[in-house]
């Protein structure tokens, strides 16, 4: 059976989705990146290999997305490398063809994507501040010693959410500590935080944007029932959560890979499970001293072979590899 693999390497989680030719999800994986995207890719593919009978499946295309998309593309030989916004929009429009607004909250980013006829026509991302994203919730849950999985459930039981400052993560934390020391129940504080984050999101990311139904809420944070409730209450609209909400980026990447293979290129560059899982990928970074820019250049190598360089502003290192690649192709 032909299938397509989507990989989303985010700052906090790494997600993998296998879909068949019709777009049905065969397998989805959500795991933590733990600050090591290379190991995340290898572990993810090793898990996929365990769970499905790889011999029965043929990977016909691979798409990568997320902030680690270039790295993942180099390791796997991806056919499509797409930004998260397009990937999320494509996935949302696949499940909800008439979707108008996508709310996506991930580990470091929060985004709002507005669509018309299945096409992105406007989007916004959080600017310099990452308050109100998954990693801030993670951090607060850890501080209160509540497993992040139970955070939303607890918040949803709040009787009277307390008021927490939502403009800045630092202010929110000091507000939370203050209220906690005054004796407010934990669930009320948690729900207060959810309300604050929603306010922050709508005023910051959604500033001046017209939010219209149908609305889809996706990304790892969509698991949080407290936020789901807070969004519905604040907007007074119904919020849909897609079945594979946590891996929608990977889903979009898989769909884009399918589109690309079907329309443009007919064979995949996928390097194969065994190669990716068994290879010893090394990264090395050094300061390029060729000019006063002192770029921090990273090289990804597999044994003796250098797969990629990046980080150099003048592209002196990056382009040296591309040339070799193209030469290889000609032969």
- Of the pair 122, 149, the CB lying nearest other proteins is at 122
Q: What's the min distance (Å) between Cβ of 128 and other proteins? A: 5
Q: What's the min distance (Å) between Cβ of 326 and other proteins? A: 17
Q: What's the min distance (Å) between Cβ of 58 and other proteins? A: 28
Q: How many angstroms from the chain centroid is the CA of residue 160? A: 32
Q: Are 67 and 108 in contact (CB under 8 A)?
A: yes
Q: What's the min distance (Å) between Cβ of 121 and other proteins? A: 6
- Of the pair 12, 148, the CB lying nearest other proteins is at 12
- Of the pair 152, 252, the CB lying nearest other proteins is at 252
Tokens of 124: 């916004």
Q: Are 73 and 64 in contact (CB under 8 A)?
A: yes
For 125, residues 6+ apart whose C-beta sits below 8 A from its C-beta are 85, 109, 110, 111, 205
Buried-exposed string 223-241: b where 16+ CB fall within 10 A, e elsewhere: bbbbbbbbbeeebeeebbb
For 80, 277, 318, the CA distances from 269, given in Å and listed in that order, are 10, 16, 20
User: What span, in angstroms and rounded, lies between the C-alpha atoms of 218 and 197?
Assistant: 15
- Of the pair 13, 67, the CB lying nearest other proteins is at 67
Tokens of 167: 């403009």
Among 39, 45, 87, CA closest to 244: 87
Which residues contribute to the site for other proteins (CB under 8 A)?
67, 82-86, 109, 116-117, 119-123, 125, 127-128, 208, 291-295, 313
Tokens of 153: 């459930």
Q: What's the min distance (Å) between Cβ of 158 and other proteins? A: 34
- Of the pair 88, 228, the CB lying nearest other proteins is at 88
- Of the pair 84, 175, the CB lying nearest other proteins is at 84
Q: What's the min distance (Å) between Cβ of 162 and other proteins? A: 31
């Amino acid at each position: 059976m032909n299938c397509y693999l989507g990989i989303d390497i985010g700052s906090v989680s790494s997600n993998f989705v296998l879909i068949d030719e019709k777009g049905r999800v065969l397998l989805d994986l959500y795991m933590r990146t733990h600050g090591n995207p290379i190991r995340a890719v290898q572990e993810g593919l090793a898990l996929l290999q365990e769970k499905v009978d790889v011999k029965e499946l043929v990977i016909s295309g691979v798409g990568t997305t997320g902030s680690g998309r270039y790295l993942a593309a180099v390791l796997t030989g991806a056919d499509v490398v797409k930004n998260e916004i397009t990937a999320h929009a494509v996935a949302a429009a696949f499940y909800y063809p008439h979707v108008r607004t996508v709310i996506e909250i991930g580990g470091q980013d929060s985004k709002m994507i507005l669509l018309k006829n299945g096409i992105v026509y406007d989007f916004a991302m959080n600017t310099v501040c990452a308050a109100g994203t998954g990693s801030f919730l993670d951090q607060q849950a850890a501080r209160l010693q509540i497993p992040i999985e139970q955070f939303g459930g607890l918040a949803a039981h709040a009787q009277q959410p307390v008021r927490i400052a939502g403009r800045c993560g630092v202010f929110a934390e000091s507000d939370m500590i203050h209220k906690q020391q005054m004796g407010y129940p934990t669930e009320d504080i948690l729900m207060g935080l959810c309300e604050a984050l929603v306010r922050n999101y709508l005023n910051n990311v959604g500033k001046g944007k017209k939010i219209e139904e149908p609305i889809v809420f996706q990304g790892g944070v969509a698991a949080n029932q407290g936020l789901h409730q807070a969004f519905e209450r604040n907007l007074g609209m119904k919020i849909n959560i897609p079945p594979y909400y946590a891996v929608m980026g990977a889903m979009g990447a898989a769909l884009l890979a399918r589109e690309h293979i079907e329309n443009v290129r007919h064979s995949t560059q996928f390097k194969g499970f065994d190669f990716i899982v068994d290879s010893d990928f090394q990264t090395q970074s050094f300061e390029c001293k060729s000019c006063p820019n002192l770029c921090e250049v990273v090289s990804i190598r597999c044994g003796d072979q250098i797969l990629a360089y990046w980080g150099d502003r003048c592209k002196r290192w990056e382009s040296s590899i591309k040339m070799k690649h193209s030469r290889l192709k000609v032969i």
